[in-house]
Structure formats: C-alpha cells, structure tokens
C-alpha cells in the first residue's frame, strides 16, 4: 500500500481550521450539544470538509487531512480558551484591592 501524496495549501491552515471551529461552535450553540461530544463533531466536520471539498479526488488524502483539520480545530479552540481564561484571571488579580 502506498501512502497518499498530500499537498498542504492556503486552504488547510487559514480557511479550513477556522471554518471547522466556527461550525462546531454554531452547532454547539444552536443544537445544545453536550461538551463531551464537541471534539467528535469537530473531527466529523473536518473529515467532511476534507473529503468533499479540499481533497475530493483522493479519498485517502481526504481522510488523512480531515483528521488534521478536526484536531487542529480542537487544539486551536482549547488554546484560545485557555489563553483568554489566563488573561482574565491576571486582569482580575491586577484590579483587585490588596
């Protein structure tokens, strides 16, 4: 079995991952999905985007990159959420009287 040739492009990092994050959050808000299912939904959306849009002529590459899209979205969201929580905590500590 040969590994698929995968070419990353502008779509991968700048468009696909933020779109997966946004769609995942919209689904979470509008359909009231429990938090434990959100990462699975992000991976499914990443797979759908990759297989149907970005790598539609190569199924193996689409599946491979779909997992990257979904997991990058999960990591990007978690990183942003933790950074904002840390920033808010530091700001609250600075504003609190001693």
pLDDT of residue 86: 95
* Listed residue (27, 23, 76) closest to 53, CA to CA: 23
pLDDT of residue 37: 95
Is 83 or 11 the better-scoring residue by pLDDT? 83
The total of other beta-carbon atoms located within 10 Å of residue 65's CB is 26
Could you tell me the two tokens for 29?
């808000």
> What's the mean pLDDT in 30-57?
93
Angle between helical axes of 17-31 and 38-49 (0-180°, round to 10): 130
Residue 7: pLDDT band with limits 50, 70, 90: low
Domain ranges of the chain: 10-95
Residue 98 has pLDDT above 70, yes or no: no
Environment class of residue 64 by beta-carbon count within 10 Å: exposed (0-12), middle (13-18) or buried (19+)? Answer: middle
* Cα(41)–Cα(57) distance, integer angstroms: 23
pLDDT of residue 14: 85
Residue 16 has pLDDT above 70, yes or no: yes
pLDDT of residue 5: 67
Tell me the average pLDDT of the chain. 89
Terminal C-alpha separation, the chain:
66
Environment class of residue 48 by beta-carbon count within 10 Å: exposed (0-12), middle (13-18) or buried (19+)? Answer: middle
**Whether the model pTM is above 0.85:** no
């Amino acid at each position: 079995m040969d590994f698929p040739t995968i070419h990353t492009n502008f779509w991968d990092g700048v468009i696909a991952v933020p779109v997966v994050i946004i769609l995942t959050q919209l689904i979470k808000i509008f359909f009231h999905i429990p938090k434990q299912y959100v990462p699975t939904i992000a991976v499914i959306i990443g797979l759908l985007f990759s297989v149907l849009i970005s790598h539609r002529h190569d199924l193996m590459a689409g599946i491979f990159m779909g997992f990257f899209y979904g997991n990058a979205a999960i990591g990007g969201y978690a990183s942003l959420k933790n950074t904002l929580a840390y920033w808010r905590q530091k700001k609250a500590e600075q504003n609190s009287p001693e």
